Amino acid sequence: MALPKLSGRTVALLAAVAAVAVGAVAANASKHPSPPAATPASETPVADVPVDEPVSHEATAAELKAAAALPQCRSARLVPVNRSWGIPMPSILGSTSTTCNLMYGDDPYRGSSRTGDPETAIQVLQRNLNFCYGTKLAVDGIYGSNTRAVVRAVQRRHHLVVDGIYGPKTRSAMNWRLYSMATRSWSRSCSSPL
């Protein structure tokens, strides 16, 4: 059976209807964004951040540049909080400083330098996010898209610039699990003692 031949006016009418339908779908999609792609079961973003919570402003180019200018965290150390407790956190190799960053793509080294152990720094961050924020990140030492998504959710929760980069401001706002060298035990809850 052959399809009937359509007149030019009918073709134009069908094209107009299709264009209106596509426009309506696009307009509706911008009002109701599709949910993010599902994350693997091994990595689930922060669950306790409400969807309708006011979102902190997105990072500007200057803020991103400043955050990226910090050195990569290439070690981890126990930062003392008091005589009994400390916080394991990412740090600069061979220094007591924790003024460093971790960002998407650190897997584990950034740049050409192969010194230090950034994989351990990333794992320390991932373990802390899992315990204190209830996520299920794979503790793999790779700062991938799931780790970045969880850091962004934590930044939103603490009303920080949402850039997905773990740096000094995120570190200071985050909740951390404490460790006691004296008793070789972990705290049962998290706090933000910094």
pLDDT in tens, 45-82: 454 443 334 444 556 677 667 766 899 999 999 999 99
Q: Which domains does the chain have, with CATH numbers?
A: 61-186 (1.10.101.10)
User: How many Cα neighbours within 13 Å face the side chain of 77?
Assistant: 17
User: How many Cα neighbours within 13 Å face the side chain of 2?
Assistant: 3
For residues 49 and 60, the answer to whether their CB atoms sit within 8 Å is: no
Q: Is the pTM above the cut of 0.75?
A: no
* Single-letter residue type at 149: A
Instruction: Report the share of the chain in percent with pLDDT over 70.
Output: 66
Enumerate residue ranges in the chain where pLDDT < 70. 1-60, 63-64, 67-68, 194
pLDDT in tens, 13-32: 444 434 433 343 333 333 33
